[in-house]
Amino acid sequence: MNSVTFADQLVLPCGARLPNRIAKSAMTEGLADPNDHATGLHRQLYKTWSQGGAGLHISGNIMVDRRYLERAGNIVLEDDSGLSTLKEMTASGKVGGNEFWAQISHPGRQCPRLVNSEPLAPSAVQLKMMGNFSRPRAITDAEIEDVIQRFAKTALLCKQAGFTGVQVHCAHGYLISQFLNPLINQREDQWGGSLENRARLARRVVRAVRDAVGPDFPVAAKLNSADFQKGGFSLDECVQVAQWLAEDSLDLLEISGGNYEQLSLMGVEPTEVRDSTRKREAYFLEYAEAIRTAANIPLMVTGGFRSRTVMEQALATKEADVIGLARPFCTQANLPKLLIEKQIENVDCYENSLVLGKGFWGNNSPMSLIRAINNVGAVGFYYWQIIQLAQAKGIDPALKVFRSFLGHTVRDFKSNMARKKAG
């Protein structure tokens, strides 16, 4: 049998087809208007990306509850207000003949103080990051049921808005991932303790979403292979949860890792990691192998893919069914075409230069302020390129980390104020 290549289709369990094996993973756009609705900027951004040739595009976080955002500028879809501009966005995001899925999400305690100073979490365990996040309140049983219904409703609205699938965000320390993580979930009821209990929310949400959208519509999830924190969600637990989610009729599982405290999702070296993983370009591939053996479900692996050979090998050896990329899409919107046509050996990679004080401390400054500037500045660099693409302008690869930190901080503050003014 021939081995899988980029250009091969993938038929999902629900019957839908991805036209090829390259996917743009979710990236929060921050482009919604003060009423949390999609805008012309989304339309332009997703048109540009769709024309780039990926088989699958996944939107940035679309929030299920406007009281709790991941950041101001998120799209919120909790009723049919804003559906008309969202329909325009999904239409332009499919011009290339790709699948276009919505990532649906609840931030839990990772909701910035400027958005809400009383966030929710499984237990009252605060995320301590430069005072950006307030101490959360433990979510009640009734609120958990409300969250489940909200995910289902948002998924159905996404289908009505023209998305061709949905992805439930169960990774990166957002609410569902907080439930999975014993360091944050200290509950002693049916939602905490054993893995079965900690995974209850993920499973209930996925099943409710499936019931809402029907059997033929792709339902995916993004899951951490591990949190990479001592005592956090582990690989063994991930393997079991992947098995359960496969039973719950999931179509595609995207493997990532880490959270705001442990930025392994961005390749910041995990402290709790196997030695061999450090040497790999795509740091979650080895974890995907363990998941693949246990769970019969198509796998998308995201995080660190930069060279064509490594991506091609991952497909050929079936370590991954779909190659997920995020940051390179910000500076190279047509990278899928370039890869499929073998016009490039490597995709863009700016992350190594986005470090303040690199010459002194490498990537890991002993000063938390410098680390925060580096983390926010590095992600701010990509936020800025997204804005440039959304305005149909050229990208700005010369942007330095401190300027992108400042620029993002000011823009974020202004978006929060505009949102508060709009009520």
Judged by CB, which is closer to ligand FMN: 47, or 222? 222
Selected binder of ligand FMN within 222, 292, 371, 408 (CB under 6 A): 222
383 is a site residue for ligand FMN (CB under 6 A): yes
Report the distance separating Cα 225 and Cα 288, nearest Å: 7
286: left (phi over 0), alpha (psi -120 to 50) or beta: alpha
* The one-letter amino acid at 314: A
User: Which residues within the stretch 109-168 sit at the binding site for ligand FMN (CB under 6 A)?
Assistant: none
Looking at the Cβ atoms of 192 and 335, the one nearer to ligand FMN is 335
| Distance set, CA 201 to CA 120, 122, 177, 195, 196 (Å) | 14, 10, 9, 11, 10
Q: How far is the CB of 62 from ligand FMN (least distance, A)?
A: 9
- Beta-carbon count within 10 A of 306 CB: 18
Q: Tell me phi and psi for residue 291, to 5 degrees.
A: -70, -40
CB of 174 to ligand FMN, least distance (A): 8
Is the distance from CB of 265 to CB of 256 less than 8 angstroms? Answer: yes
Q: How far is the CB of 269 from ligand FMN (least distance, A)?
A: 13
Closer to ligand FMN by Cβ: residue 217 or 383: 383
**Tokens linked to 412:** 């974020």
Closest separation in Å from C-beta 404 to ligand FMN: 11
Q: Is 61 in the site for ligand FMN (CB under 6 A)?
A: yes
Whichever of 73 and 303 has its CB closer to ligand FMN, that residue is 303
Residues 74-113 as x/- pattern, contact with ligand FMN by CB under 6 A: -----------------------------x----------
Using left for φ > 0, alpha for ψ between -120 and 50, and beta otherwise, residue 198 falls in alpha
Q: How big is the CA angle at 277 (ends 274 and 279), to the nearest 5 degrees?
A: 125
Longest Cα pair distance anywhere in the chain, in angstroms?
A: 60
Q: Which of 123, 256, 259, 277 binds ligand FMN (CB under 6 A)?
A: 256
Beta carbon nearer to ligand FMN, 73 or 192: 73
- The nearest distance, CB 15 to ligand FMN, in angstroms, is 25
Taking CA 222 as the corner, what is the angle to CA 221 and CA 226, rounded to the nearest 5 degrees? Answer: 130
Contacts of 214 (CB under 8 A, 6+ apart): none
Q: Is there binding between residue 60 and ligand FMN (CB under 6 A)?
A: yes
408 binds ligand FMN (CB under 6 A): no
Q: Which two tokens stand for residue 254?
A: 């995207």
Q: What are phi and psi of 85, to 5 degrees?
A: -70, -30
Structure tokens belonging to residue 380: 């701010």
Name residues contacting ligand FMN, limited to 312-331 (CB under 6 A).
Answer: 325-327
Least Å from the CB of residue 1 to ligand FMN: 29
Site membership for ligand FMN, residue 268 (CB under 6 A): no
Cα–Cα distances in angstroms (integers) from residue 233 to residues 193, 250, 272, in the given order: 12, 20, 12
**CA–CA separation, 226 and 132 (whole Å):** 24
- Closest separation in Å from C-beta 67 to ligand FMN: 18
Q: What are phi and psi of 88, to 5 degrees?
A: -65, -40
User: Please, what is the minimum distance in Å from the beta carbon of residue 215 to ligand FMN?
Assistant: 25
The CB-of-384 to ligand FMN minimum distance in angstroms stands at: 9
146 vs 46, 208, 310, 364, CA distance in Å?
31, 12, 43, 41
Kindly state the number of chain residues that form the binding site for ligand FMN, as judged by CB under 6 A: 24
CB under 6 A: which stretch of 205-213, 223-231, 357-365, 375-383 binds ligand FMN?
375-383
Q: Which residues from 332-371 bind ligand FMN, rule CB under 6 A?
A: none
Residues contributing to the site for ligand FMN (CB under 6 A):
25-28, 60-61, 103, 169, 171-172, 222, 256, 265-266, 302-305, 325-327, 379, 382-383
